């Protein structure tokens, strides 16, 4: 009696969540790559569930030499108010010049808003792109252009998703008026939560800051 001998190879398959953990990206990033044709699932069920193979995992991690989907550099530029639009344009030009000189493929995200406002449209867009695995580098002119307080949290987020932050000028350089405006905003937020004497004290502090800021602007340099 003759027997046909054959080897059955069992292929390990991963759900989109499991595969994302294996290669260090979010499920949303995998969905985006699928839509753009950069990394298609090995199998899609009738219900639309994506499955990825162990071979794809190995290829992505470089075991079989597959190149990862291309990521870009983002130049992020910010000023605090519409009065600083000229400053914003100069900032954008400086950041562009820096990235062009290094041959980066880049886009620009710009914001007009306080450095202590975490809900700015541009900043939200930047964070979404970072967590989707779309950004290789974030280039900023000064450290405080990204965010006034909590920079370390953004830096940690970037490290988690393999995004590097490049600061063109690492010296601490903040316009005095802009810093005063941020301080006024901080005190205003806290004073709204206070009552009685403490609220009056906070309001007095805001008034003094605003008066000091106004007096500084009105000063004329001596001949």
Query: What positions carry a catalytic annotation?
Result: 80
Same-domain status, 155 and 197: no
Residue 195 domain-assigned (yes or no): yes
160: domain CATH number?
A: 3.40.50.1390
Same-domain status, 127 and 162: yes
**pTM: predicted TM-score of the whole model, two decimal places:** 0.55
Provide the residue range defining the domain that includes 193. Answer: 176-213
23: domain CATH number?
A: 1.10.1660.10
Residue 208 domain-assigned (yes or no): yes
Same-domain status, 100 and 147: yes
Out of 150, 167, 184, pick the residue that ends a domain: 167
Report the alpha-carbon angle 117-171-146, nearest 5.
Answer: 25
Same-domain status, 77 and 161: yes
CA gap 14, 30 in Å, rounded? 12
CA gap 73, 108 in Å, rounded? 9
Write out the chain's pLDDT in tens, 223 residues.
454 544 445 678 999 999 999 888 889 999 999 998 889 999 999 999 999 999 898 888 775 444 556 789 999 999 988 888 999 999 999 999 999 999 999 999 999 988 778 889 999 999 999 998 899 999 999 888 888 788 899 999 999 888 999 999 877 655 665 565 566 566 655 556 555 556 566 666 656 655 665 555 444 444 4
Short-list 57, 40, 54, CA closest to 12: 54
Residue 1 domain-assigned (yes or no): no
Short-list 78, 73, 44, 40, CA closest to 59: 40
């Amino acid at each position: 009696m003759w027997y046909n001998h054959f080897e059955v190879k069992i292929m390990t398959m991963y759900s989109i969540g499991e595969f994302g953990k294996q290669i260090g990206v979010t499920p949303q990033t995998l969905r985006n790559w699928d839509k753009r044709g950069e990394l298609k699932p090995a199998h899609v069920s009738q219900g639309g569930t994506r499955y990825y193979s162990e071979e794809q995992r190995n290829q992505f991690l470089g075991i079989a030499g597959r190149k990862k989907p291309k990521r870009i550099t983002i130049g992020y530029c910010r000023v605090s108010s519409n009065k600083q639009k000229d400053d914003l344009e100069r900032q954008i030009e400086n950041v562009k010049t820096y990235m062009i000189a290094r041959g980066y493929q880049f886009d620009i995200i710009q914001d007009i808003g306080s450095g202590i406002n975490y809900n700015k449209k541009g900043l939200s867009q930047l964070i979404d792109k970072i967590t989707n695995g779309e950004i290789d580098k974030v280039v900023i002119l000064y450290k405080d252009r990204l965010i006034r307080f909590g920079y370390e949290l953004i830096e940690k987020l970037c490290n988690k998703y393999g995004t590097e932050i490049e600061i063109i000028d690492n010296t601490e350089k903040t316009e005095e008026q802009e810093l005063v405006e941020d301080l006024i905003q901080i005190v205003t937020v806290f004073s709204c939560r206070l009552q009685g004497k403490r609220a009056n004290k906070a309001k007095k502090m805001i008034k003094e800051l605003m008066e000091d800021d106004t007096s500084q602007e009105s000063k004329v340099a001596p001949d």
